[in-house]
Amino acid sequence: MSRIGSLLGRGVRYVRTYGVPQLYRKIQERRKLDSLERPYQQWLKAQQPSQEEQRAQREAGFSRRPRISILVPAYETPCEFLRQLVDSVCAQTYENWELCIADGSQSSQVEDTLSVYLERDSRIRYQRLGQNRGISANTNAALAMAEGEYIGLLDHDDLLFPQTLYEVVRALEANPGARAVYTDEDKISFDQTRHFQPHFKPDFNLELLRSNNYICHFFVVERKLAQEAGGFNSAFDGAQDYDFILRCGERAGQMVHIPKILYSWRSHASSTAADPESKRYAYEAGKRAVEAHLWRQGIEAAVLDTANYGFYRVKYGRDRERSQGPRKARMPVLINSFENIHGQKGIKVVYYDKACNNIVTFPKKDVTDGYVLFTCVRRGRAERGFLEELKSVCDRPEVGLACARVYDSRGRLSHEVEMAGVRSPFSLSVKGLRRGYLGYFHRACLQQEILGITDCFFMRAELFSRLARLYREESCKETGLTVDWLAEKVRSMGFWVVYDPWAVLNEGK
């Protein structure tokens, strides 16, 4: 009955904020994802190493075997959860680790639970803090205990798979320049009987990280880098890991993604994994963490909440928007045909046909407009702020292409949104998604760096002219090239291809 009451309460709060239609879509989308992920439990079991493979992992001949210090800030942790956590660490096939537990509990239950482990394994280290200093300060106490070359972050009620640390060291061996590593993760039920909601993550994607802490767990970083970044900041308690990851990412140079489920996040009544409302303060702290990151990077932008806790919109070009005058003077762009903006506002429009292999013809001379808009949509309606949004993203020096979110005449997403490094064995495409639906881990409506392009994208004319000259120099072909080649070339030049879901185009019938 208590769980039913909790669900009803969450539903009422959600309806008050976002309305019944959005709650219906949220429920329907969750049901579809649950259906797609039904084989997950069996699939996950098949991925686990056999006894022979675990033996081989223990005997693996790495060129170096760094010690990994696992940090656990404990506070009145239920005995059963704590034992399961420690057992999951003791079961690691890579054995050069230490477990650093800083305990802010008032009671002695954590210490009493650990007493047996402390007697039999010297790798487990424990400190009673005497008071709860807050999660950041407690984690900093665990960090001060650490002696390993790397540290890993583990919540006090979560679990590692036996091969987790082996896979981490294997990734570090294969990427000697890496200073940080993260893995895919899933959720596990209160009683450990069910794994669910696997999160198959992309390779390091800063644009996405600014929208949501997709890295989360399991995160391993050089201890030296953690100290350079300043450890954990109590000003961001609740989202201290998010702030810490952003600061480490600013210094890491190379952050490696291991595309394997190696961490289980326990989902129970008081966990954000089960009830986002239970730690709403954490999402406010997350927003401030992104704001602080952008400020450190010297980026003018505003961080806005979205309709979903923990997911943010970064609105770039804040000063530019202010200079455009009052909102009433900025009318929405209503497009019957993009021809009515061709050559106006400094924009050249280039059409291409998806049915004809996405081919475009480059001009024989440089483009004098400020921007070029590519589209295969000839009739449609762009939502308010469409061009301004694309411009604000495209004007960033690291961005080559800014891609809009496009819905076809049936109100379905007309394109895929694909990030590098996602290794999902399940069908989780966002193409064809109905308007108002979010996609796998909200990917249909989050800013992110992507591999390809959508059905409408924007670029600076200067970059377009550079590519046109390069194409004329390298190619003797009479025909035009494809927009897919264009995106690939932009990426090879070191620019980002960014999906901006806040620039929305609706194709006309």
Determine the average pLDDT of the residues in 452-467. 90
CA–CA distances in Å: residue 124 to residues 110, 114, 116, 117, 144: 13, 9, 11, 7, 14
d(CA 140, CA 171): 26
d(CA 388, CA 36): 37
Structure tokens at 62: 């790495």
477 HSE (CA, 13 A, CB side): 13
d(CA 426, CA 346): 44
Please give the angle made by the CA atoms of 65, 70 and 74, to the nearest 5 degrees.
165
pLDDT of res. 483: 85
pLDDT of res. 270: 46
Determine the average pLDDT of the residues in 212-232. 97
Structure tokens at 270: 């008081």
pLDDT of res. 332: 40
Q: What is the share, in percent, of the chain residues with pLDDT greater than 70?
A: 84
* Contact (CB, 8 A) for 302 and 312: no
Quick: pLDDT tens for 433-459.
999 889 999 999 999 999 999 999 999
Amino acid at 116: V
d(CA 278, CA 247): 26
CB atoms under 10 Å from CB of 219, counted, come to: 21
Determine the average pLDDT of the residues in 80-85. 96
CA–CA distances in Å: residue 302 to residues 19, 32, 174, 243, 389: 26, 34, 38, 17, 13
Residue 205 has pLDDT above 70, yes or no: yes
* Contact (CB, 8 A) for 226 and 148: no
Determine the average pLDDT of the residues in 384-405. 93
Determine the average pLDDT of the residues in 251-262. 95
Closest by CA position to 153, among listed 73, 103, 219, 230: 219
d(CA 197, CA 208): 19
d(CA 498, CA 277): 31
Q: What is the share, in percent, of the chain residues with pLDDT greater than 90?
A: 65
Determine the average pLDDT of the residues in 72-76. 96
The radius of gyration of the chain's CA atoms, rounded to the nearest angstrom, is 25
- Does the pTM exceed 0.85? yes
pLDDT of res. 330: 39
Question: What SS3 class is residue 423?
Answer: coil
Average pLDDT, the chain: 87
Crossing angle of the two packed helices 2-18 and 20-36, in degrees rounded to 10: 130
d(CA 468, CA 471): 5
Higher pLDDT, residue 147 or 334? 147
Residue 374 has pLDDT above 60, yes or no: yes
* Contact (CB, 8 A) for 85 and 156: yes
pLDDT of res. 136: 97
- Which residue is listed with tokens 């009830």? 275
Quick: pLDDT tens for 297-342.
999 999 999 988 899 999 998 544 443 333 433 334 444 456 666 5
The beta strand positions in 129-252, using DSSP E, are 150-153, 159-160, 180-189, 195-199, 219-222
CA–CA distances in Å: residue 244 to residues 90, 144, 152, 232, 308: 26, 16, 12, 6, 22
CB atoms under 10 Å from CB of 7, counted, come to: 12
Higher pLDDT, residue 323 or 368? 368
Q: To the nearest 5 percent, what fractions of the chain are helix, strand and coil?
A: 40, 25, 40
Higher pLDDT, residue 145 or 384? 145
Determine the average pLDDT of the residues in 247-258. 94
* Contact (CB, 8 A) for 194 and 274: no
* 430: alpha, beta or left? (left if phi > 0; alpha if psi -120 to 50): alpha
d(CA 187, CA 175): 28
507 pairs with which residues across the strands?
380
Task: Output DSSP code: residue 204.
Answer: P
d(CA 347, CA 100): 58
| Band of pLDDT at residue 233, cut at 50, 70 and 90 | very high
pLDDT of res. 16: 55
Quick: pLDDT tens for 263-299.
999 985 445 444 556 578 899 999 999 999 999 999 9
Which ranges constitute the DSSP H helices of 314-460? 318-323, 386-394
Which ranges constitute the DSSP H helices of 175-275? 206-209, 223-228, 240-252
pLDDT of res. 37: 86
Closest by CA position to 443, among listed 431, 426, 425: 431
